[in-house]
Amino acid sequence: MKTCNYIKKIYLVGFFIVSFLMLPLIFAQGGWCEETLGRGLKSNTSLARLQVEQAWETYHHAALGGTLSSPGSQTELEMNLHKSRALLAEAYEAEDSGDIKTANKLIKQIMQITDKVIVESQESKK
């Protein structure tokens, strides 16, 4: 009888331990949850972030490959990329505070800058 109670207690403790360990899995939120809740699959700011990442990738590919047109253009492109990152941070802040008009204005600027960087990064040396 004593052994049976002991086994029941072990199972009960095991159940609570497993339940406790499962809680984070049950209530966990994925990395994109913040951007997907109430905003559709991806917000405009998320798309701008992807555009900034693409611009940096294109720029680095050209810089490492030595295909940028001149050192001056390399400096200008890099400055524009840093500016786009700063604008992106402002856009996220505006979006988080509910100022969608400002966020969209910043996103438009980001898209113009990154489009220009991508095009200029793909130009060959002269």
Give residue-wise pLDDT tens across range 4-49: 676 767 766 666 675 655 555 555 444 444 444 454 435 788 899 9
> Please, are residues 96 and 39 in contact by the beta-carbon 8 Å criterion?
no
Would 75 be classed as within a structural domain? yes
Average pLDDT, the chain: 79
d(CA 6, CA 119): 73
- Per-residue burial over 38-56, b if 16 or more Cβ lie within 10 Å, else e, is eeeeebbbbebbebbeebb
Would 80 be classed as within a structural domain? yes
Q: Which two tokens stand for residue 21?
A: 């360990």
d(CA 77, CA 83): 10
Would 4 be classed as within a structural domain? no
Would 27 be classed as within a structural domain? no
**What is the predicted pLDDT for the residue at 19?**
60
> Please, are residues 88 and 110 in contact by the beta-carbon 8 Å criterion?
yes
Residue 28's CB is within 10 A of a number of other CB atoms, namely 8
C-alpha pair distances (Å), 43 with each of 24, 55, 74, 76, 90: 27, 19, 31, 29, 15
Residue 84 lies in domain: 33-122
Number of domains in the chain: 1
Would 118 be classed as within a structural domain? yes
Would 7 be classed as within a structural domain? no
